[in-house]
Amino acid sequence: MTAISFPEARRQIVAVGRWLDGKGWAPATSGNYSVRLDDGSFAVTVSGRHKGRLGEEDVMRVSADGASLDGKKPSAETALHLAIYRLFPEAGAVLHSHSPDSVGLSRAVAGDGFTFTGHEMLKALPGNPTHDASVVLPIVDNSQDMAVIDGAITPALLAAGAPPAYLIRSHGLYGWGRDMAEAERVIEAIEFMVATERAERSFRA
């Protein structure tokens, strides 16, 4: 885990918002990002802001129970970020993207997970040193109640071999890492594998 200062977290979150928007993975005002801070609080994106046009004033601080520490309004999904930090004390950053491919996969696939097998990009996931593996990306149904999503996804996240990521059906992808760089790598690797799976199916059609 890497815990950093609030000014550095703001810079990282502004930069990652521009990166994800440039990829087409943060349409409209979708997505939310967070970083664990060195004082025990968390930096998160303010609710309703376009992630490709974030300024440092669009990043706020919340306590470990989600209370605003500076009077600004966090995203309702902040609760899902904090749940990840509680489950995984080594997590230092959490990202939530909304790519068309990942959302489309979550809508097209029935059941509670999608299996990636033999992808070279599996080696980008923490703790997975080989492409010669199968990794199941958990999928959970969407809800306006974050506690419902948290309760439904937690068992899958704690299962042996689970990746540091999951999909919310018809909504988007959550991924995390020990720091922002690792969280970015997880998101990019999974988005790449999802896009590859889609391309493979189109070639076979």
Instruction: For the chain, give the longest Cα–Cα distance.
Output: 53
Between CA 191 and CA 150 the distance in angstroms is: 22
Ligand-binding site membership of 50 (annotated): no
Buried b (16+ CB within 10 A) or exposed e, 84-108: bbeebeebbbbbbbbbebbbebbee
205 in helix, strand or coil? coil
The rounded distance, in Å, linking the Cα atoms of 73 and 56 is: 15
Bridge pairing between strands 165-168 and 59-62: unpaired
At a CB cut-off of 8 Å and minimum separation 6, what does 114 contact?
A: 105, 136, 137, 139, 167, 197
Nearest to 117 by CA among 198, 202, 193: 193
The answer on whether 98 is annotated among ligand-binding residues is: yes
Question: Could you tell me if 21 and 96 are in contact, meaning their C-beta atoms sit under 8 angstroms apart?
Answer: no
| Known binding residues for Zn(2+) | 96, 98
| Known binding residues | 96, 98
